[in-house]
């Protein structure tokens, strides 16, 4: 099934308490090489047929206006994924 | 997919069926064949196997639970609108209102997946309340975890508390109390019991029955997926080809938002009168709901399984029937109400599907397309399951355990060493079971709804039910596995007495009882003996107190290998109060008040927190219970509160006077000066007993100077022993004369630090 | 004085907000998320809860509701709007207030009686307070951590747009201990704590006077009723 993948991450310079908590947990279980963790979201938009370029642009707009909150998140990927 | 149909079952009579893997016994399988006059189809086999399981059929406990229905007087039944056997009991509280309440267990799932296990436990009990036609208004939980320092305990604690927080808070139900207990006996078998209470007008009562031929059977709420069908998947190997899904989860996953929407949707459906019967889907999903609705209604049902809205199209008919996907309800809707029904569910964006209708014959017929895959008499599935009379035998270790009392063992008492005694005091009140539980309760919303009159750290929860009149209900749940291990009959009575006393201490009048009976394996005659003793003790106790059991839950098989948990019957008592403004705070807030101890203290340290924390010991006999006295004590408190004579009251239970004093001074940060010499003299006990004995029938109250004479007079008139043991004062200290003085801040630090240190 | 309370799927404290309005002397009006109309109310409350189960981001889906389109427009024209907890999250997602709200620092839901300091009284919802007032309001949330860029924080502090700050304990890691904000015009206020849970004696936070007698939350609703009368 053709899809567009959107990936959203918390903004680089802002607090990511979830990532921090996970990093701490990893450290406690002995994974010293991992210096930091940041946690984002992967969103899949499913289409009936392979998305066109304009649908890709539209998806980017949706990603930036609704699927992410521009104040605290960045859209780091919007791409077509073939199956 | 190869579908096993009724026709096929008639033709292929000698087919091998995995009845043992599904948990059925040979004679049960034979019973099914006798009932049907043929072998069951694989769908029917799945249905019977789950509905006849211990969890759904109560086959090992039925003969003892009967006592709750038998040991009842007409007086006790007066307030009951609905007794045992329905989804939850319903009790009249006056002003045309009723409440429905029940406590249930979700123990095993909470060990496997603590978060989802606890979350779906809350979801399940709330749906049971909703199904009675009530708006759920509060929840409570009774949690028992393994040893606090054991590495696996934190995993379970965090998961369970997060799960309850996640689900309960999202539903908008205030958490008004409960218990948290740590004991190594629960290490591999944590107990997660959840209670919910709802309110309804008498006329709003709904029952789970389908009794009008032609009425529609509608499944609505979440879509059906593969939740909880792990066991049944053994059938899948029969019907799947090599490419089919190989594993199904045994766990259910909950979505509290879906349930919140469902609650609002259902309440609107009820108010509009669209629904003539309703059942929630819990254990055994659709097969349970259909068979129970049909059986209760004394009619039958015809259902088209292909109409079920699915989350996962690869599910087989057996899996659809047994799925335990959450947040689903089944409604019986008269045809003429269908349009109104649709309008309301559409407004709430809730999905629904008309699965079939109520028919005249006494059969449950389920189709998969054109093929009939289930044709059974509903009663045999839902109500006439096997009834076992399991072997019962008092354990050999019982008598020696009872002989090995704290006195017989000569356990050291620090009566002549004030330093040691004072140190024991702090050690006890700061031990994990006695320490402050805010670390846990602070993760629950107690404010939502704006009707919470009492919640943790008060001894009972209290909810206002009528904003106009202040009418309210109080609830307390209690259990003590250690007492029950020493004496299950007495232990159950003690739990009842404590919950009863907690409700009375809040100013309410106890009126009904629920219970959640957590025990080991019923195949163990010793456990069965404990169960018989406990249920008898509880039933006898309820009869003596004059308050009926309205419903409850049994959880067996709580054991690791051969080692069972301590018998742990949780008893919940419901009380009613005419105006919540009259409720009694649990700690004192005013200085210069007199502190009185009601009741008599005996040397009863067997099974006590003192014996556990100071000596790591369990032996002897639990404290005596005098229910007649508890009744009189409750009546005194009621009378005193009506006259406004009591400024605060807390009952004494685990860790005795030491705990009661600590909680009373720390509740509002108001100190006290207390003396125990008179108590020791009057009751003929030593200092250790004075501080730590767990004798029953005792309450610590504070009384304003101006009410002293009246209060003491009231106690004397009613023959309740009353002894002044101190005064409240604002020095910021708790002083126990000739023993120790503690700064409240130090006491608080010790009391509050324990759980965060263990689990943060 | 009619004050609308919006109910979204998953809203929980809408009934409590309605009660608070009634106790303050106003008339609560129930508004449904799917209806565009706000029935000519004089002010709107976006209540607490878990609208849409906090899916995607807290308040993100609710911010797209038909009723919100209308409320955003009217807020731009001066309509007083109070966002409580999830309501605050909806205001932030609607860009009626700046910044963002993320998961509590300690990763747990917390319910506590929270001390706050009133920082600014130049708003429709805080005018009945005095600057510097210390009040106790119940707080209950899992995603209450206020964050904003340095630039935004500077602007907020500089223009006095912070209405409440956490005292004694910062329960969720909010930057600059920010518990609540207002917009420049002063008609829109958002805060994480729940004033509607401190309006009725016997059901609020404990106070030195008596158990559960704290009613510091009433002033929020009294403020807006005053401002509506004088408007």
Fold for B6-61+205-323+346-382, please state it.
Answer: Phosphoribosyl-aminoimidazole Synthetase; Chain A, domain 2 (3.90.650)
pTM reported for the whole predicted model: 0.94
| Cβ atoms of B30 and B363 closer than 8 Å | no
Same fold, B6-61+205-323+346-382 and B585-760: yes
Residue B250 has pLDDT above 70, yes or no: no
pLDDT in tens, B325-354: 999 999 999 999 999 999 999 999 999 999
CA distance C201 to chain B (A): 9
Q: Which residue bears the tokens 């943060």?
A: B760
Closest-approach residue (CA) in chain B for C206: B668
Structure confidence at residue C228 (pLDDT): 74
Q: Which residue bears the tokens 């080809």?
A: B241
* Domains of chain C by start residue, with CATH: 2-230 (3.40.50.880)
Nearest Cα neighbor of A45 from A12, A16, A81, A9 is A81
CATH code of the domain occupying B585-760: 3.90.650.10
Mutation target among A69, A70, A73, A75 for the C interface, most CBs of C within 10 A = A69
Parallel/antiparallel/unpaired status of strands B509-518 and B568-577? antiparallel
Structure confidence at residue A20 (pLDDT): 84
Residue B446: count of CB within 10 angstroms of its CB: 21
- B584-B586-B592-B596 Cα dihedral, nearest 10 degrees: 90
Closest-approach residue (CA) in chain B for C107: B162
Structure confidence at residue B243 (pLDDT): 43
Question: Does the active-site annotation cover C194?
Answer: yes
Residue B757 has pLDDT above 50, yes or no: yes
| Cβ atoms of B200 and B133 closer than 8 Å | yes
For residue C12, give the nearest of B172, B451, B580 by CB distance: B172
Per-chain mean pLDDT for chain B: 95
CA distance B451 to chain C (A): 6
| Cβ atoms of C92 and C100 closer than 8 Å | yes
Structure confidence at residue B234 (pLDDT): 60
CA distance C176 to chain A (A): 13
pLDDT in tens, B352-410: 999 999 999 999 999 999 999 999 999 999 999 999 999 999 999 999 999 999 999 99
pLDDT in tens, B110-159: 998 999 999 999 999 999 999 999 999 999 999 999 999 999 999 999 99
Per cent of chain B over pLDDT 70 is 97
Residue ranges making up the domain that contains A71? 3-81
Structure confidence at residue C230 (pLDDT): 65
CB contact under 8 A, C173 and A15: yes
Structure confidence at residue C231 (pLDDT): 58
Residue B144: count of CB within 10 angstroms of its CB: 25
Q: For the residues B501-529, what does the mean pLDDT come to?
A: 97
d(CA B278, CA B221): 13
Which residues of A are less than 8 Å from C92 in CB distance? 69, 71
d(CA B148, CA C170): 28
Which residues of C are less than 8 Å from B449 in CB distance? 15-16
CB contact under 8 A, B444 and C111: yes
pLDDT in tens, B21-54: 998 999 999 999 999 999 999 999 999 999 999 9
pLDDT in tens, C158-194: 999 999 999 999 999 999 999 999 999 999 999 999 9
Q: For the residues C57-71, what does the mean pLDDT come to?
A: 95
Nearest Cα neighbor of C9 from B265, B327, B123 is B265
| Cβ atoms of B520 and B474 closer than 8 Å | no
List the CATH number of the domain containing A37: 3.30.1280.10
pLDDT in tens, B632-690: 999 999 999 999 999 999 999 999 999 999 999 999 999 999 999 999 999 999 999 99
C90 close contact with A: CB closer than 8 A: no
For chain B, what is the total number of helices (H) and then of strands (E)? 28, 28
- C163-C166-C170-C175 Cα dihedral, nearest 10 degrees: 30
Instruction: Give start and end residues of each alpha helix (H) in B334-434.
Output: 338-347, 378-382, 398-403, 418-429
Residue B242 has pLDDT above 50, yes or no: no
ipTM of the complex: 0.95
| Beta carbons within 8 Å of B385's beta carbon, 6+ residues apart | B51, B52, B56, B57, B59
pLDDT in tens, B159-176: 999 999 999 999 999 999
Q: Given C58, C85, C93, C143, which residue is catalytic?
A: C85
Structure confidence at residue A82 (pLDDT): 78
d(CA C111, CA B411): 42
Question: Does the active-site annotation cover C111?
Answer: no
Nearest Cα neighbor of B326 from B533, B171, B525, B537 is B171
**How many domains in chain A?**
1
Mutation target among A38, A71, A74 for the C interface, most CBs of C within 10 A = A71
C110 close contact with A: CB closer than 8 A: no
Cα C183 to Cα B376, C97, C139, C157: the distances in Å are: 66, 6, 22, 12
Omega cis (within 30) before A11 = no
Confidence band of B241 (pLDDT split at 50, 70, 90): very low
The structural domains of chain B, with segments of one domain joined by +, span: 6-61+205-323+346-382, 585-760
Token pair recorded at residue A23: 């990093």
Parallel/antiparallel/unpaired status of strands B371-376 and B364-368? antiparallel
Mutation target among C54, C66, C211, C221 for the B interface, most CBs of B within 10 A = C211
Structure confidence at residue B233 (pLDDT): 58
Longest dimension (CA), chain A: 47
């Amino acid at each position: 099934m053709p899809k567009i993948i959107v990936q959203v991450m918390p903004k680089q310079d802002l607090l990511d308490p979830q990532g921090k908590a996970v990093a701490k947990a990893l450290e406690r279980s002995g994974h010293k090489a991992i210096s930091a963790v940041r946690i984002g979201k992967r969103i899949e938009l499913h289409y009936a047929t392979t998305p066109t370029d304009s649908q890709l642009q539209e998806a980017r707009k949706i990603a930036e206006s609704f699927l992410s909150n521009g104040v605290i998140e960045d859209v780091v990927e919007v791409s077509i994924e073939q199956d | 997919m190869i579908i096993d149909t009724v026709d096929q079952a008639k033709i292929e009579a000698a087919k091998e069926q995995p009845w043992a893997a599904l948990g059925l016994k040979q004679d049960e399988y034979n019973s099914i064949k006798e009932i049907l006059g043929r072998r069951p189809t694989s769908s029917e086999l799945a249905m019977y196997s789950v509905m006849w399981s211990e969890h759904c059929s109560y086959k090992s406990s039925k003969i003892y639970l009967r006592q709750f229905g038998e040991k009842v007087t007409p007086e006790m039944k007066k307030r009951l609108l609905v007794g045992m056997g329905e989804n939850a009991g319903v009790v009249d509280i006056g002003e045309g209102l009723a409440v429905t309440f029940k406590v249930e267990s979700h123990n095993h799932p909470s060990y496997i997946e603590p978060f989802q296990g606890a979350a779906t436990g809350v979801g399940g009990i709330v749906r049971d309340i909703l199904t009675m036609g009530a708006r759920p208004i509060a929840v409570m939980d009774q949690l028992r975890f393994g040893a606090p320092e054991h590495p696996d305990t934190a995993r379970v604690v965090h998961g369970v508390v997060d799960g309850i927080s996640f689900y309960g808070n999202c539903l908008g139900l205030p958490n008004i109390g409960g218990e948290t207990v740590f004991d190594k006996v629960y290490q591999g078998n944590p107990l997660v019991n959840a209670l919910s209470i709802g309110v309804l007008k008498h006329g709003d009562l709904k029952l789970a029955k389908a009794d009008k031929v032609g009425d529609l059977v509608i499944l609505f709420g979440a879509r059906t997926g593969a939740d909880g069908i792990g066991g049944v998947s053994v059938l899948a190997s029969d019907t799947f080809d090599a490419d089919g899904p190989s594993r199904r989860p045994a766990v259910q996953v909950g979505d509290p938002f879906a349930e919140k929407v469902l609650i609002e949707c259902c309440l609107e459906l009820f108010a509009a009168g669209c629904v003539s019967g309703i059942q929630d889907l819990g254990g055994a999903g659709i097969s349970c709901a259909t068979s129970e609705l049909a059986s209760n209604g004394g009619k039958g049902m015809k259902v088209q399984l292909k109409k079920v809205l699915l989350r996962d199209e690869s599910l087989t008919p057996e899996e659809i029937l047994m799925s335990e996907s959450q947040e689903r309800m089944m409604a019986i809707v008269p045809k003429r109400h269908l349009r109104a029904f649709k309008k309301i569910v559409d407004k709430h964006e809730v999905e629904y599907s008309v699965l079939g209708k109520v028919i005249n014959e006494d059969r449950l017929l389920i189709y998969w397309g054109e093929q009939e895959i289930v044709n059974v008499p509903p009663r045999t599935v839902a109500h006439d399951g096997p009834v076992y009379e399991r072997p019962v035998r008092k354990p050999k270790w019982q008598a020696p355990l009872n002989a090995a009392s704290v006195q017989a063992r000569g356990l050291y008492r620090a009566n002549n060493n004030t330093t040691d005694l004072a140190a024991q005091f702090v050690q006890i009140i700061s031990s994990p079971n006695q320490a402050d539980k805010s670390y846990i309760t602070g993760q629950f919303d107690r404010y939502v709804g704006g009707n919470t009159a009492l919640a943790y750290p008060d001894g009972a929860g209290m909810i206002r039910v009528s904003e106009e009149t202040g009418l309210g209900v109080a609830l307390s749940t209690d259990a003590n596995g250690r007492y029950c291990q020493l004496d299950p009959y007495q232990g159950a009575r003690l739990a009842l007495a404590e919950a009863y006393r907690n409700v009375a201490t809040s100013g309410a009048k106890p009126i009904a009882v629920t219970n959640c009976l957590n025990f080991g394996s019923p195949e163990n005659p010793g456990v069965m003996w404990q169960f018989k003793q406990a249920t008898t003790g509880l039933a006898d106790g309820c009869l003596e107190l004059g308050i009926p059991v309205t419903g409850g839950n049994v959880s067996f098989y709580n054991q690791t290998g051969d080692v069972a948990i301590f018998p742990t019957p949780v008893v919940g008592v419901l009380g009613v109060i005419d105006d919540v403004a009259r409720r009694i705070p649990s700690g004192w807030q005013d200085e210069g008040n007199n502190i009185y101890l009601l009741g008599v203290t005996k040397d009863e340290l067997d099974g006590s927190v003192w014996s556990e924390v100071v000596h790591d010991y369990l032996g002897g006999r639990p404290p005596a219970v005098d229910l007649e006295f508890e009744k009189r004590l409750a009546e005194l408190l009621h009378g005193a509160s009506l006259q406004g004579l009591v400024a605060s009251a807390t009952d004494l239970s685990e860790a005795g006077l030491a705990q009661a004093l600590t909680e009373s001074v720390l509740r509002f940060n108001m100190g006290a000066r207390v003396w125990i010499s008179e108590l020791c003299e009057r009751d003929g006990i030593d200092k250790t007993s004075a501080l730590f004995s767990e004798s029953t029938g005792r309450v610590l109250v504070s009384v304003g100077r101006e009410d002293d004479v009246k209060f003491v007079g009231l106690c004397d008139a009613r023959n309740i022993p009353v002894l002044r043991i101190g005064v409240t004062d604002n020095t910021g200290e708790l002083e126990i004369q000739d023993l120790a003085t503690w700064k409240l801040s130090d006491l608080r630090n010790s009391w509050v630090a324990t759980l965060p240190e263990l689990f943060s | 004085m009619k004050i609308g309370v919006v109910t979204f799927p998953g809203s929980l404290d809408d009934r409590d907000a309605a009660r608070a309005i009634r106790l303050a002397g106003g008339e609560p009006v129930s508004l449904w998320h799917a209806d565009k109309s706000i029935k000519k109310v004089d002010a709107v409350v976006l209540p607490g809860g878990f609208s849409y189960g906090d899916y995607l981001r807290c308040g993100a889906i609710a911010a797209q509701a038909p009723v919100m389109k209308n409320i955003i427009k009217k807020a731009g024209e001066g309509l007083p709007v109070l966002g409580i907890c999830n309501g605050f999250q909806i205001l932030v997602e609607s860009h009626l207030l700046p910044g963002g709200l993320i998961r509590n620092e300690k990763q747990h839901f917390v319910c506590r009686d929270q001390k706050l300091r009133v920082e600014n009284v130049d708003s429709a919802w805080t005018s009945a307070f005095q600057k510097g007032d210390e009040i106790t309001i119940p707080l209950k949330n899992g995603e209450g951590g206020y964050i904003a860029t340095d630039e935004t924080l500077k602007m907020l502090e500089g223009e006095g747009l912070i209405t409440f700050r956490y005292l004694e304990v910062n329960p969720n890691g909010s930057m600059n201990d920010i518990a609540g904000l207002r917009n420049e015009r002063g008609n829109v206020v958002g805060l994480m704590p729940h004033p509607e849970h401190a309006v009725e004696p016997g059901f609020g936070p404990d106070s030195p006077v008596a158990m559960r007698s704290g009613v510091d939350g009433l002033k929020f609703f009294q403020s807006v009723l005053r401002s509506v009368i004088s408007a």
